[in-house]
Structures are given as structure tokens and as C-alpha cells.
Amino acid sequence: MAPSGLTVDDGEAHYCKVLGDEIFGRGNFLANVIWEKADSPRVDAEFFSARHDHILVFAKNKTACKINKMLANEEGPARHYDKVHDMGRPYYLKPLRAMGGEDSRSARPTLFFPLTAPDGSIVLPIRKDGTEGRWRWSKERMETDKHLIEWICGRSGWAPYYRIYGDVESYARLRPSGLILKLEATEHPRRRSKLCLMELKLSTLRSQKN
């Protein structure tokens, strides 16, 4: 039998987990994926409005099991990727000066050093309150990734930014999540194959055990 998953409701999930452990071995259990099967609550629910099912995922042999990675964002880059590189790659800019809790010079002294702006002027990582800050990158990375740096001249003078490309961040491939929210057409049982897991009925699982 190929590695497979089992979708059940709250009333069966715990029993099926124990049953699956007996069949596949407890060490071959991979995950209990929570699947939101409905996008609205049931008005006729007596106690709780159940809107999810459990997908119990087992492997026949965990050591030989491989899970394909999925695109982090199949719809493309988010809206904040508001610029496009000459090669057609979407990106947005982020300040090279560190911001946040540990953005002072004293926090990372080695990250305080001068940079040369396009007009030859010297730029230091100075915080908005006028105190000394720091850069996000080291001198070595400034040199290695200098092709990502983009200078912008504003009211306060030159400031360095770096590019974050959408085809690197948004199209990253990640392991499947243990929470599946509102998949298209998941309310139709015949189309549950979109979950990329085999659906087995409880009776089928029991028959295999016997």
C-alpha cells in the first residue's frame, strides 16, 4: 500500500489514530492535518459548529517517505512588490539601516561604518532621533551583495536600500502546512484529491486491518 492519509471528523479521529498506529506502526505517523471543510458555521449545530475534518497522514515506511514541497504563494508576489527589475523580476525595497529593538550602534558596533553614496558623500546609519544606529549587513556582505543595493535621495539626503525579489521570497517552496484553510471546492467530496492525500473510509481501514 502506498503512503496515504485518512480524513475523519472529531468523533472518529482519535479511534482512527490508534487504529492507524496498529496498521502502519506508531513510528510511521506523520501528521494530523486540520482541514477547514466549510467556510461558514452550521446554524443547526446543537453544541459546537464543526467546520473541520482531520487528515491522519501515515507512511508505509517513514524512512523512505518523501513529501513534495509546495509553492508558498501560487498567485504570485504580494502587492508590496511594487517595483520591477530590468530583467522583469518583481521586488520591493527595504532600508539597509537596521530598525527595531537592537538597531543601535552599541548593540552591534561592527555594523556601524560609512558608506559612499552615488554623489560621493559619506552616509552613516543614523536613527531618526539623531543617535547612531547600525546597518543590517556587515562590510563583507555589503561587498558581496552590492548588486542588490539601491540608493534613494530623499529630503534627508541619500539612503541605501536593498532589493527583495518576489521570485525568491514569494515563490519559495515549503513543506505542506498542518492547517488547510478554505481550499477551493473542498466542500465537494469528489474533489478532495486536491489535498494530494488519499481518502480512505473508516470501514476500508478496518478491512485492511483484518
Q: Which three cell numbers stand for residue 62?
A: 517513514
Q: How confident is the model at residue 203 (pLDDT cuts 50, 70, 90)?
A: very low
* Per-residue pLDDT tens over the stretch 96-136: 999 988 899 999 999 999 999 999 999 999 999 999 999 99
* Per-residue pLDDT tens over the stretch 58-74: 888 888 887 776 655 55
Distance CA 164, CA 172 (A): 13
Cα–Cα nearest to 114, from 136, 128, 135: 135
H or E stretch at 140: helix 139-144
Cα–Cα nearest to 33, from 206, 203, 181, 174: 181
Cα–Cα nearest to 160, from 125, 119, 112, 108: 125
Q: How many CB atoms lie within 10 A of CB 123?
A: 16
Provide CB contacts within 8 A for 170, sequence distance 6+: 72, 73, 76, 77, 78, 81
Query: Residue 113 to residues 25, 128, 157, 163: CA-CA distances in angstroms?
Result: 58, 17, 17, 21
* Per-residue pLDDT tens over the stretch 127-140: 999 999 999 999 99
Residue ranges per structural domain of the chain? 4-69+175-209, 83-168
Whether pLDDT at 89 is above 60: yes
What pLDDT is attached to residue 198? Answer: 40
Cα–Cα nearest to 195, from 34, 39, 21, 64: 34
